[in-house]
Chain A
Amino acid sequence: MFKKSPQLLICISACLILTLSACTKTDINSVNPNTPSAVPPNFVLSAALNASAGLVLGGNEDFANTWMGYWAVYGITASSTLTYNITNDFFSGNWDNTYPILENYKLIQNESTDPTEAYFAGIAKIMEAFHFQRLVDMYNNIPYSQALDPNNSFPKYDDAASIYSDLIVQLDSAIMIINGASVATAINPGPSDIMFLGNMTEWVQFAQTVKLKILMRQTETTNGPGYIQSNLTGLTTADFLGAGQDAAINPGYSNSSQAQQNPQWQDIGYTTNGSPTGNNQAYRANSYSVNFYFGTNDTFRVALFYAPNDSNLIRGRAFGSSDVGQSNSIISGIGSGILQSPGQSAAILPAFESLFLQSEAVERGYLQGDPSALFKSAVTESFRLLGIADYIDIAQTFYSQPSDKVNIDVSANKINTIILQKWAALNGYDPLESWSDWRRLGIPTDLPVSIYPGTTATHIPYRLLYPTSEFHYNAANVDGQGNINQFTSKIFWMP
């Protein structure tokens, strides 16, 4: 039979082969069983907020803590922190890690188009503005309108001032989204909101505070009081975060694993078994601030910002000192007010910072209110946050001293007193804010430059340099920003 019809046989065989294979074909790789391709927005929100806390408090701002006179550096190892001879890689995590986090906030907004998901969309928008402001304050012009697009490999740089004005628009829009949501049907983020636990009023207050922070940054620009005031129209001090309302993130930090520790504790604190981290040993008290606190009889706070040395004294080192005799048993480390516990909340915008901002805004006439009361409340909040039990009385004693460094009521230059005490309170909390105040107003006026041998700088840097990743992978656009110099290139809002 075979011999008679070979052609038929070949046909049958070919068909058989093809059929045999066809039945095995299924799209087995269409669903990934290991990692999800989409999750409900609450799961992204909790992780993104946690990442925000890690970004802000996990070490990326350590350089600002040293430059702003809070911390000094142990040892004599030459480092760009001490010399200000920073490179493109200097603390580039501030750039390289922020955008991927922003991509997640963008994802939340993209996935939360249903009206019931309005709160998620609003929160993500607020956090976006919060992070973009940080980026502008460090780098001035940045990719903004074209950033975060997987299909655009070369996002252009936007003008910093225009980003700032758009952030106000975005914050207003976020507030509208939240306020416009139906309380009855909108899903409350609840425990996935690891900052305000679903308290949407506080989210709106936080949004207004970020807005205030963005506006107050521009006091010295040509935008001027008119622009700031017009954007604050209709707002009262009650619309911002007030006493007791720290914007603080806490997913449930604990000492049960390294990854579950508070990010600041993880950076400058102790490992789970209690041994000090490298940065705990590296960052020590700066004599400039130690002297400042002692000079204002601030004995409670100085002992919480800094840890007593082996002789039970608070001692600082001049920033950039190469004196090898100043070992860590002589120079104080970071204190128990900053390092309270591995489970402590991560305050990305403490209540006192909001109150200082309000105090300045009122003092400048942009808002209605009592600048002195706001100032005193701000100082009191700083004492509270450091963990002083009897903080109200102790703060009162402190700010009632006759010195114009602490007492706004006796001060002839109230702005100076506000910013100086704001600086004193921001130690270890938000040094980027005090760096911005210094760049905006030059306060503290006597902020020392590094005494590291060979340092010729006359002032601390004005900005960070664009990171290497941009020069490698977005070269044309970053090159378009021209030559950037950390000592001369200013952020747009600097005078």
Chain B
Amino acid sequence: MRKHFIFLNMLLVNFSLLYAQQNTVSGNVIGQDGNPIPFATVRIIGNSNGTKTDENGHFVIATPAKATLIISSIGYEDKNIEVKGGSVLNNITLISRTLALNGVVVTGLGIVRQQKALGYATAEVKGKELDQAKPISLANGLTGKVSGMEVSTINNGVFAPTRITLRGNRSLTGNNQALIIVDGAIYYNDISNLNPEDIESVTILKGASAAAIYGSDASNGVMVITTRRGISGRPVINYSSTVQLETVAYMPKLQTQFGSNGGETIFYDYNNLSDYIPYENQQFGPQFNGVMVPLGRPVADGSLLMVPYSAVKNGKRDFFDNALTTQNTVSFSSGDDNNRFFLSAQDVHTNGVVPKDFGNREVFRMGGSKTYNRFSASYSLAYTNKYTNVTNTGQVYNDVLNTPQQVPLTSLKDWKNNKFADPSGYFNDFAQNPYWDIDNYRNKTTENDLAGNVLLSLKATSWLSFNYRAAVNFASTRYDYTQGEQLFNNHAMTSDTVIYSNPSGTGLDTVQESPKYNALSPTPAAYLTSTNSNFLITSDLLMTVSKDISPIFHLVGTLGTSYIDNQINSLTVNAGPLFFPLYNITNLTGIPTLGQSNRQAQKQGYFADLTLGYKSVVFVHGSYRTDYDSRLSKANRYIPYYDIDGSVVLSELVPSIPGKAVDYLKLRLAHSVTGNASALAAGSAFIADGAYATDPTLSSSTGFPFNGLGGFLLNPIIANPNIKPETITENELGLEWGLLKNRVYLVADVYQQDLRDGIVYAQVARSQGFDSRLINAASTQSRGLEAELKATLVKSGDVLWNVGVNYTHIQSKVLSINGGVPSIQIGGPSSNSYAVVGQPYPVIETGDWTRDPNGQVIVDPITGDPTLDPNLKIMGNANPTDVLGMTSSLTYKQFTLSATAEYRSGYKVYNSLGSAMDFAGISQTSVATGRQRFVFPNSVIDEGNGKYVTNTNVTTDDADYNFWGGSYLNVGSNYVTKGNVFKLREVVLKFDFPRKWYANSKVFQDLSFALSGRNLIMIRPKVNIWTDPEFSEDTSNAVGTNSVNETPPTRIFGATLAVKF
């Protein structure tokens, strides 16, 4: 029936041609399903003429002798077609933008495979989607868009670091972050060194099966990033300019009722709150009453700063800046059938919310390809220069919190000229002026990152091709830390005079207080400098055979080898104190601490990859790899890693299946064994960081050399030359289902990952003469469910509404660590993250109140005070177990409204920020009882005979300095809350200017304006009064703890103007 119809169309077209003018092009437009696409726009590039297809997808358009047509329709990719006058274009097929059922996917090592042949889970995010809200780092543009992928931005800093994991965590001490591949080459560098606008697409290979071709690096899944290479057709210049404003959106809950006192005068001042102390940082003083009080001590000229004794409104919020970021990007792109070329430059200037924090990033990229008969070559070259200049965030934020609420902090900004703001005159005896910190503690980092990539291909025969790729990535980093000198005048160092406001309110009392609680002494300037160079060479050689071996069987096979060489050289000079603030190592006063590290590692992989297809509906695929890793012993170098997977397109195999409810149905199954040796590099992705980890060595001992005398002691870790990579076995089952004319598309996966031989630094009995041993001992298991639903809700006329929902559920469990060892700490010695046998990984462990068997807090029968249980307790899993992501894109005529939201739940966070706030007495928690003694909630009294009775009347000793600033803050469990959070990650409203507005100028091809917002809404449970649960101290596995090192959560508003010439 349909065939007849098309035939008829062709007749009609031909017939019409007879009467057409010479320069008339006609044709019909269809979708991948063969159905006509009505009302698609047909335009001529460089010309204001345009038309639309009719109900049957037909069009006729008058053209110049030579022209490029651009066919577009909402929901489909644009298509450019070069025409010469008077042609007929039959069945122009547009690719659906929403459902790429029959598309191709770039998998590991640049191998391109048919979507329907894949036996494992993948997802693709187009450059346009990830870039819509103009994030500085492309990682932010991925958040919430892909199931199984967790992108966490761990603070609000300049070029904020992100942690990207696929299918959660497996390794206890190794790297769990996704392997990043840029244009086929391994990319270990910071993802924020890339310009998101250079990205064509990001393919996410979620599981280990998909990544198995990378062998011993494969366990964490892969992000395959493809950069732009130019498009065929008329040369195009794109320019976009974005301005963004970042503002603090969520301050932690602060009290506004009480002023300064740190318990100096009377320790146990239960009911009559202590006197106001003008030089105090802690806020356990009397209630605000609005009268004028002295702030600080009299300064050198005898003058005294008087302030109203009441909380300054938004005093802390106003300390933070509204930070401006600008991004300007220009790109040039051109190409024809055999040549492609792309060139871009981007300038980002970004400011942080902490005053004077800033950063710049310049990214230049050139990419292109050339085809000449059987040969083709493509290349890309990128250079990034990134500079950040930031202060010590934790110090500044802590000093802000230790500024009592009556202090007009923002008026004390000018510490150089304001006598009440300089170090000598600043009111606070115990905390520094944060504005002084900002000017005097600077961390400056310059990164130069050069990445080049060349791919040479030879299509030897119709069925045999060769690909050789070589890539280099050279990154050098220079880090300088400068710390200004702190000087005080004589008066500040010697005067003991304090002026108090008379408690009776009748005036001021001058008191000589000797000695001062905190004697001031000048500190000299200090300096640290380090340089790091990182050189990475990768190359792959692939031979691919693609052949129909019988009418029904098709075979694609690849044989290859890949090589990687990584060299890292770093040099650190910690000069320590300087004579005067000239930041140069020749100006140091003492013996500098020096550090040098030269590391190199190589890997050579051999692999084979084979896909066998039956009638293009049943596919079996396998890959095999083994690696030579220079870091491992001979015995462990050639461990096999493999994947075997298969897929069945049931809707094509069984003709009876397709129907109203099923347009497309595919089942898939995958099994793989992969490896991970990054634990050798203590979690660093760079292989060189793991070099020499298995050697027994000696190190220069602390204090040495003493005046020419050297001393070396054994490394306290028992070396293990026989260490081997961790192995991860993954089994995966997936379903892909398209229905309602493929307007609804569902993908679901379940998987289980089992890690064996996990590498840990296991503690040993010290009587062995060492403190730990590097060993393959741990095992973990994780299971997950991923589901993605994409649907076109409305598609009619001017309206297109696509929505996507993705859901992730992850369950992990530590099965064993090392023999009977029940737990190990993850991260540094002050980390709260632990791997505990039988628990999810990682869990938060911290101190808790002593509790009775029912979990109620036991208080002292006389003092009413609870006590800290000396044993750490498990507070809960630190990674979200359930994540729901939602995307929506609604187009109406010229307007497109896109939004991304995400809900995370099933985990806990440790807001150690709360402890710093309770110490300062600035927290809302510390005024829960109006600083009056109280019966500790849900408390019991131990009767001593194994019975506990409910405490109804014994109040705490104190509800002021001693309680909140003393015992409460030491109990970590008080700051552990649910991590549940809903975030509106992105909202973008884009307006494409109608062509007729500017068509006459003949300069612009496209002109659009967009308003965007990021993190506009964050909804947390009421108990989380502190900060964003996504925040963490670093990007390591030790997630889930935040502190003063992360400033309050922000919102970002932006506007983008984009022009296409």
Q: Spell out A's residues near B (CB within 8 Å).
A: 2-3, 6, 9-10, 13-14, 16-18, 20-21, 24-29, 32-39, 43-44, 46-48, 50-51, 95-97, 99-100, 102-104, 106-107, 142-143, 147-150, 152-155, 191-192, 194, 251-254, 256-257, 259-260, 272-273, 275, 467, 469-470, 472-475
Bound: A55/B556 CA distance, A: 67
Asked whether A155 lies within 8 Å of B697 as measured between CB atoms, the reply is no
Give Cα A36–Cα B631 distance, bound, in whole angstroms: 17
Interface residue ranges of B573-597 to A (CB < 8 Å): 590-591, 596-597
Stretch from B171-179, B758-766, B994-1002 forming part of the interface with A: B758-766
Q: How far is the CA of A272 from the CA of B597 in the complex (A)?
A: 29
**Smallest distance from the beta carbon of B879 to chain A beta carbons, Å?**
26
Residues of A close to B606: CB separation below 8 A = 18, 21
Q: Cβ of B709 and Cβ of A191 under 8 Å apart?
A: yes
Kindly supply a per-residue 1/0 record for chain B positions 587-620, scoring 1 wherever the CB is within 8 Å of any chain A CB and 0 otherwise: 0001100001111111010100000000000000
Q: List 7 A-B pairs, minimum CB-CB distance, nearest first.
A: A47-B711, A103-B769, A474-B765, A252-B706, A259-B703, A47-B701, A148-B769
Task: Answer whether residue B712 sits at the interface, using C-beta atoms and an 8 A cutoff.
Answer: yes
Q: Which of A37, A100, A192, A254 has the most CB of B within 10 A?
A: A100
A475 surroundings in chain B (CB, below 8 A)? 820
Q: How far is the CA of A96 from the CA of B560 in the complex (A)?
A: 51
Which segment of B302-310, B409-417, B714-722, B931-939 sits at the interface? B714-722
Q: Which of A34, A96, A192, A474 has the most CB of B within 10 A?
A: A34
Residues of A near B631 (CB, < 8 A) are 29
Which of these, A253, A273, A467, contacts B766 with CB under 8 Å? A467
**CB <8 Å contact, A36 and B711:** no
Residues of B within 8 A of A (CB): 460-461, 464, 466, 521, 541, 543, 545, 559-561, 563, 565, 590-591, 596-602, 604, 606, 628, 630-631, 691-692, 695-699, 701-704, 706-707, 709-716, 718, 763-771, 773, 820-821
Given contacts A25-B604, A34-B599, A36-B697, contact A46 B704 (CB under 8 A): yes
Q: Given contact pairs A44-B714, A100-B713, A103-B769, enumerate 9 new A-B contacts (beta carbons under 8 Å).
A: A3-B461, A21-B561, A25-B604, A35-B699, A46-B709, A50-B706, A96-B766, A275-B521, A469-B763
Chain B's closest residue to A49 (CB) is B711
Bound form: Cα–Cα A467–B630 in Å: 39
**Distance between Cα atoms of A275 and B561 in the complex (Å):** 62
User: B763's contact among A2, A3, A251, A473, by CB below 8 Å, is which?
Assistant: A473
> Which B residues touch A35, using CB under 8 A?
692, 697-699, 715
Contact (Cβ within 8 A) B713 A51: yes
Q: Are A43 and B770 interface neighbours, CB within 8 A?
A: no
Q: Which residues of B contact A256 (CB under 8 A)?
A: 590-591
By the criterion CB–CB under 8 Å, are B711 and A46 in contact?
Answer: yes
Shortest C-beta distance, B569 to chain A (Å), equals 10
Complex partner residue of B768 from A13, A44, A95, A150, CB under 8 angstroms:
A150
A47 contact set on B, CB distance < 8 A: 701, 704, 711-713
Q: Is the CB of A251 within 8 A of B604?
A: no
Residue of B nearest to A27 (CB): B630
Q: Which residue of B lies closest to A469 (CB)?
A: B766
- Partner of A50 from the list B464, B701, B718 (CB cut-off 8 Å) is B701
Which of A25, A43, A150 contacts B711 (CB under 8 A)?
A43
CA–CA, A121 and B461, complex, Å? 72
For A147, the chain B residues whose CB sits under 8 A away are 767-769
Please pick, from B561, B706, B715, B768, the residue contacting A149 in the complex, using a CB distance under 8 A.
B768
Contacts of B692 in A (CB 8 A): 29, 32, 34-35
Q: Which residues of B contact A29 (CB under 8 A)?
A: 600-601, 630-631, 691-692
| Cα–Cα, bound, A450→B709 (Å) | 44
User: Of B604, B707, B770, which is within 8 A of A24 by CB?
Assistant: B604
Chain A to chain B contacts (Cβ below 8 Å), 29 pairs: A13-B466, A17-B541, A17-B561, A20-B561, A21-B604, A34-B599, A34-B692, A34-B697, A35-B699, A37-B696, A39-B712, A43-B711, A44-B714, A46-B710, A50-B701, A99-B768, A100-B713, A100-B770, A100-B771, A106-B769, A149-B769, A253-B706, A257-B591, A260-B706, A272-B590, A472-B763, A472-B765, A473-B821, A474-B765
Q: How far is the CA of A470 from the CA of B707 in the complex (A)?
A: 38
Flag if A103 contacts B770 (CB, 8 Å): yes
- Expressed in whole angstroms, the Cα–Cα distance for A21 and B637 within the complex equals 15
Determine whether the beta carbon of B561 is less than 8 Å from that of A38: no
Interface centre among A26, A51, A103 (most CB of B within 10 A): A103
Complex Cα distance, B603 from A28, in Å, reads: 11
| Minimum CB–CB distance for A309 against chain B, Å | 14
Report yes or no: B703 in contact with A95, Cβ–Cβ below 8 A. no
Q: Is the CB of B714 within 8 A of A107?
A: yes
Question: With a CB–CB cut-off of 8 A, which chain B residues contact A103?
Answer: 714, 769-770
Given A35-B699, A100-B716, A252-B709, are A143 and B460 neighbors across the interface (CB < 8 Å)? no
Contact of A14 among B559, B696, B768, B770 (CB under 8 A): B559
Closest to B715 in A: A35
A155–B764 CA distance with the chains assembled, in angstroms: 11
Give Cα A472–Cα B821 distance, bound, in whole angstroms: 7
Knowing A18-B561, A43-B711, A50-B704 are in contact, say whether A95-B766 is a contact too (CB < 8 A): yes
Question: In the assembled complex, which residues on chain B have CB atoms less than 8 Å from the CB atom of A192?
Answer: 709
Provide the residues of chain B in CB contact with A467, threshold 8 Å: 766
Assembled-state Cα–Cα distance A97/B718 (Å) = 16
Asked whether B765 lies within 8 Å of A153 as measured between CB atoms, the reply is yes
- What residue of chain B has the Cβ atom nearest to residue A107's Cβ? B714
Name the CB-closest residue of B to A191: B709
Instruction: Name the one of B464, B591, B771 contacting A2, with C-beta atoms under 8 angstroms.
Output: B464
**Cα–Cα distance between A125 and B893 once the two chains are bound (Å):** 89
